């Protein structure tokens, strides 16, 4: 029996009135949220009547994803069932990324893990961890197929958002023929690429544009970093966010601009979480394994896209990145 068979059996053998808890990682991106909600809607199609979906605090859905079907599945982490009959986590490479919801997941008799990070630390009772997949949405679709769930426009929209965000609108190297095949299926089932692109990638408040200009004004290029492959970096502060009255999640898309610097293989964006604590995103154009850098600094991810939580000042965090890049 394959791991996919075992995970499907765990779902099928669960009573339809049982409590099912779905959890994705903190500060969920389109893949984490889309794969979780899409799968939750699929469970409803199978007849499950008590499905909760959640993620760790801060419990706020980023504006670009507030159109997603299935948001009614969401409950705050404090309201999540403490001992579910079945638990499923999405897009989390380590238990730490699941925050305060870890105990509830561990308390479940069956815990299915859906993830595509090569740095996954290995947890849960059924591990569908496929680093070759471009997005966790691919794995969610595979399990839904195994369960005999027919895709409808709501499930398809959620999974398409996951696929589009983690492939950078199908621009990243992870965009395989299988990705395009799944995208075609999702569009045939009702996902609308134009609408998703406008909502997720091409719309932002004017104040966010002004904030972006300040962050880009701080951008620095270090051609000698990463053994001469180059590093471009930028950071935002909590004061920046307060000045423009914006939540931290608006910074996620700024990496798409920073990483375009022609002189740098590696891009680093440092985002504030609280005083002395930072969320750090790393990207590589191919010559540098940023997952190795992130793992060394307590995080994880993929060769071309990774991240970690940094402590101290923004300058100290960037110094730590440069040091690890010199060893990569």
Taking only the tens place, the pLDDT of each residue in 45-66 is: 999 999 999 999 989 999 999 9
Please give the Cα distance from 231 to 221 (Å, whole number).
6
The pLDDT value given to residue 246: 95
Radius of gyration of the chain from its Cα atoms, rounded to whole angstroms: 19
Confidence of residue 302 (pLDDT cuts 50, 70, 90): confident
Please give the Cα distance from 64 to 269 (Å, whole number).
20
Please give the Cα distance from 257 to 128 (Å, whole number).
33
The pLDDT value given to residue 272: 96
- Average pLDDT over every residue of 9-20: 98
pTM equals 0.90
> Which residues, other chains included, contact 242 with Cβ-Cβ below 8 Å and sequence gap of 6+?
none
- Whole-number average pLDDT of the chain: 96
Please give the Cα distance from 243 to 226 (Å, whole number).
34
- Average pLDDT over every residue of 22-40: 97
Please give the Cα distance from 141 to 158 (Å, whole number).
10
Domains of the chain: 3-200 (3.90.1640.10), 206-327 (3.10.310.30)
CA angle 152, 197, 64 (to 5 degrees): 85
The pLDDT value given to residue 310: 96
Edge to edge, what strands does the sheet with 305-311 contain? 220-222, 231-235, 266-274, 277-284, 305-311, 300-301
Count how many residues are written for the chain: 328
The pLDDT value given to residue 173: 87
Please give the Cα distance from 205 to 44 (Å, whole number).
35
Query: Could you tell me if 298 and 307 are in contact, meaning their C-beta atoms sit under 8 angstroms apart?
Result: no
- Average pLDDT over every residue of 85-91: 98
Using one digit for the tens of pLDDT, what is the confidence trace for 240-255? 999 999 999 899 999 9
Inter-axis angle of helices 193-200 and 153-166, to 10 degrees? Answer: 50
Confidence of residue 107 (pLDDT cuts 50, 70, 90): very high
**E strands of the chain, at which residues?**
19-24, 50-54, 86-90, 111-115, 126-129, 220-222, 231-235, 266-274, 277-284, 300-301, 305-311
pLDDT at 328 over 90: no
The pLDDT value given to residue 300: 87
Query: Could you tell me if 293 and 326 are in contact, meaning their C-beta atoms sit under 8 angstroms apart?
Result: no
pLDDT at 301 over 90: no
Task: Classify burial at 129, counting beta carbons within 10 Å of its beta carbon; exposed 0-12, middle 13-18, buried 19 or more.
Answer: buried
pLDDT at 278 over 80: yes
For residue 324, give the H/E element and its range. Answer: helix 314-327
Please give the Cα distance from 134 to 113 (Å, whole number).
16
Please give the Cα distance from 226 to 216 (Å, whole number).
21
């Amino acid at each position: 029996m394959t791991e996919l068979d075992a995970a499907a059996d765990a779902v099928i053998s669960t009573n339809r009135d049982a409590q099912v808890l779905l959890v994705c990682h903190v500060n969920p991106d389109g893949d984490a949220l889309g794969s979780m909600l899409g799968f939750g809607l699929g469970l409803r199609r199978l007849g499950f009547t008590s499905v909760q979906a959640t993620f760790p605090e801060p419990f706020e859905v980023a504006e670009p994803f507030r159109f997603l079907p299935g948001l009614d599945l969401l409950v705050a982490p404090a309201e999540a069932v403490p001992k579910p009959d079945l638990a499923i986590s999405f897009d989390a490479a380590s238990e730490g990324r699941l925050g305060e919801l870890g105990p509830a997941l561990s308390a479940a008799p069956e815990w299915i893990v859906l993830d595509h990070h090569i740095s996954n630390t290995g947890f849960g009772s059924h591990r569908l961890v496929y680093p070759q997949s471009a997005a966790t949405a691919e794995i969610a679709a595979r399990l839904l197929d195994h369960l005999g769930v027919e895709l409808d426009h709501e499930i398809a929209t959620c999974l398409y958002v996951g696929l589009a965000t983690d492939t950078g609108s199908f621009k990243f190297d992870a965009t395989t023929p299988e990705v395009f095949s799944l995208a075609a299926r999702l569009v045939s089932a009702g996902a609308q690429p134009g609408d998703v692109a406008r909502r997720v990638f091409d719309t932002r408040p004017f104040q966010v544009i002004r904030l972006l200009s300040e962050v880009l004004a701080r951008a620095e290029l270090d051609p000698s970093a990463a053994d001469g492959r180059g590093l471009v970096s930028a950071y935002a502060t909590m004061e920046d966010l307060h000045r423009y009255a914006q939540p931290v999640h608006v910074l996620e898309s700024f990496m798409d601009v920073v990483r375009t610097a022609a002189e740098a293989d590696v891009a680093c964006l440092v985002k504030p979480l609280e005083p002395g604590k930072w969320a750090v995103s790393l990207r590589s154009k191919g010559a540098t394994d940023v997952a190795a850098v992130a793992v060394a600094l307590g995080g994880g991810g993929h060769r071309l896209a990774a991240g970690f939580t940094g402590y101290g000042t923004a300058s100290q965090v960037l110094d730590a990145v440069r040091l690890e890049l010199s060893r990569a």
